[in-house]
Amino acid sequence: MPEPLPPNPFDPPSHEHTAYESCLNLQSLWFSPQVAARVLGYALIHHPGSSMAMAREISGCDDNAEFMAGLGYLMFKGSVLAQPESPPDSIDIAALSNLSQSTGASPNDAKKLVSKDSERCSGSQLRLQVLARDNYRCILSGNVDAASLRNGLTTIDLVAGERKADMELCYIFKMTGDEEQGYIGGGLTDVARRKLGWASSAAAVLERLAGIPMVQDIHEAENTFTISPNLHGPWDQLQISLHPIASEEDDSSNMYEIHTYPPSENTRYGLPYRTTNTLPSRRYLALHDACAKIAYLSGAGEVMERLFLDVGNARVLAEDGGIGVF
């Protein structure tokens, strides 16, 4: 169930305080687009970095309900369209042995297999590099890749409760360049579209509101990780996220809490509550985590769940904005 915005958590006279008051005012109006008000308010609260840009965009709407509804709509829509919709990538374990031989690295030498020089690659090489970096395990459940185990590339600790399973390559965000998405403001009114004309793609929306440059090539090691197939769908649908728990200044930290939406369903998914495995981009994971929280708390996640019943609906959404909750 969506949760109404809490009282203003920001100290006056900050820009965030002023912007959040606008969200509360929008939420209180009888004709208010409730989801849009909550999306914007929770985006301020759970912003993965500085929320100044988000606050400026909200305040720039001058408490105009039509503009704010459009901004909330774009925030939600950008989060939906940035999630992967391509088929999962399987992993060719036989090729992994060849790769390790050609690079001169042992199968467990993840740092050498995923070097700065090889971060931008495509196809099977990326899949194999990421699998090695992740120690042949799902970074969420800790399950051991069954094919790697059969080929002697890793071992399993049954005493510690490790299990084996097939693995897939998962993308945090899909390619979100303008040429991929096109203009995503099709569901806005003409007035709001002119006001928010900068929203040329899902990437443009998330970059402007989150201040984080989005990946332009899906085939980057920082945008990928190893996952069990049963967790792939919930991750893409923002039902599972990794929440950073170390200092935000420490980009090298690999400590995360595993959050589920609804909360506390880790046991149902067979997940621990924390993970410390080597992981991809901390910034991308933090943004994915923020999108998941905003979607759940605002109620937009309920709409997203219906959209993902047919993944093609996300493409239709990009074309005609056909969603009637805002």
Are 282 and 247 a contacting pair, CB within 8 Å? Answer: no
CB of 186 closer than 8 Å to CB of 196: no
Check: CB of residue 206 under 8 Å from CB of residue 214.
yes
244 forms bridges with which residues in the sheet?
Answer: 256
pLDDT of residue 90: 53
What is the arithmetic mean of pLDDT over 98-121? Answer: 45
pLDDT of residue 228: 94
Asked whether the predicted pLDDT for residue 32 surpasses 60, the reply is no
Q: Could you give the CA distance from residue 250 to residue 293 in angstroms, rounded to a whole number? A: 22
Give me the residue label for tokens 């197939």.
229
In whole angstroms, give the CA distance from residue 227 to residue 155: 18
Distance from C-alpha of 14 to C-alpha of 19, rounded to nearest angstrom: 9
Q: Is pLDDT of 121 > 60? A: no
CA distance 103 to 66: 57
Q: Is the pLDDT of residue 192 over 60?
A: yes
Per-residue confidence (pLDDT) for residue 2, from 0 to 100: 83
13 — pLDDT class (breaks 50, 70, 90):
very high
Neighbours of 54 (CB within 10 A): 23
- Comparison of pLDDT for 201 and 156, the residue scoring more: 156
Angle made by CA atoms 171, 202, 69, in degrees to the nearest 5: 130
Q: Average of pLDDT values for 104-109?
A: 46
Asked if 151 contacts 285 with a C-beta cutoff of 8 angstroms, the reply is: no
- Cα separation values, 189 from 121, 204, 275, Å: 41, 19, 44
Residue 85's CB is within 10 A of a number of other CB atoms, namely 14
What is the distance between the alpha carbons of residues 123 and 91, in angstroms, rounded to a whole number? 10
**Which of 48-57, 108-117, 197-206 has the weakest average pLDDT?**
108-117
Average pLDDT, the chain: 77
Please give the model's pTM, rounded to 2 decimal places: 0.79
**Euclidean distance between the first and the last CA atom of the chain, given in angstroms as a whole number:** 17
Q: What's the average model confidence in pLDDT over 274-290? A: 86
Residues 311-323: tens digit of each pLDDT = 343 334 334 443 3
Give the mean model confidence (pLDDT) for residues 49-72.
Answer: 89
Query: What's the pLDDT score for residue 4?
Result: 93
| Tokens 């200044």 found at | 249
282's CB contacts (< 8 A; 6+ apart) are: 244, 251, 253
Q: Which residues pair with 299 in a beta bridge?
A: none
- Give me the amino acid identity at 96: L
The fraction of the chain above a pLDDT of 90, given in percent, is 37
Q: Are 220 and 120 in contact (CB under 8 A)?
A: yes
Categorize the per-residue pLDDT at 283 as very low, low, confident or very high, splitting at 50, 70 and 90: confident
**Is 84 in a helix, a strand, or coil?**
coil
